Amino acid sequence: MKPIIAACGNDCSVCPRMLPKTAAELTATAELWYKFGYRDQVVSNDEISCRGCTPDTWCRHEIVTCTASRKIKNCGECGDYPCNKILAAFENTKRHQPDCQKCCTEAEFAILEKAFFEKQINLEKVRNDKGQR
């Protein structure tokens, strides 16, 4: 499957939250998010499911609003990359990586790594593919 790179560089094509997913898959994802500290409780399937980034979607670093206002798909297409917003997102993501490695199976971590922990790599690839450096 071809990667679907979100505004912040996440790879939606492998994300365990991205729909369509079965109810059981979403429940397992909600439990996993709780297990490694992304949530303080197991949330509902409606809350854990994702339909992709839109300006109406909550984004901790306001990246979705920023990319939408610039009419670009993701930060890798931005002339101001890397800005403070995306650097903060990279740092926030890196902060969770050790906890994920500790409490996830190898298979779970491999999915999370591809979906979330490679966002900077994904955005650099977008930049290189567009001929920006």
List pLDDT tens digits, range 104-130. Answer: 899 989 999 999 999 999 999 999 987
**CA gyration radius for the chain?**
15
Q: Summarize pLDDT for 40-63 with one digit per residue, the tens.
A: 999 999 999 998 888 777 778 899
> In 10 A of CB 99, how many CB atoms?
13
Determine the pLDDT at residue 132: 61
119-129 vs 84-103: helix axis angle to the nearest 10?
130
Q: Summarize pLDDT for 16-37 with one digit per residue, the tens.
A: 999 889 999 999 999 988 988 8
* Segment (H or E) for 35: helix 23-35
Determine the pLDDT at residue 133: 56
User: Residue 41 burial by CB count (10 A; 0-12/13-18/19+): exposed, middle or buried?
Assistant: exposed
Q: What mean pLDDT value characterizes the chain?
A: 91
Rounded to whole angstroms, the Cα distance separating 63 from 84 reads: 10
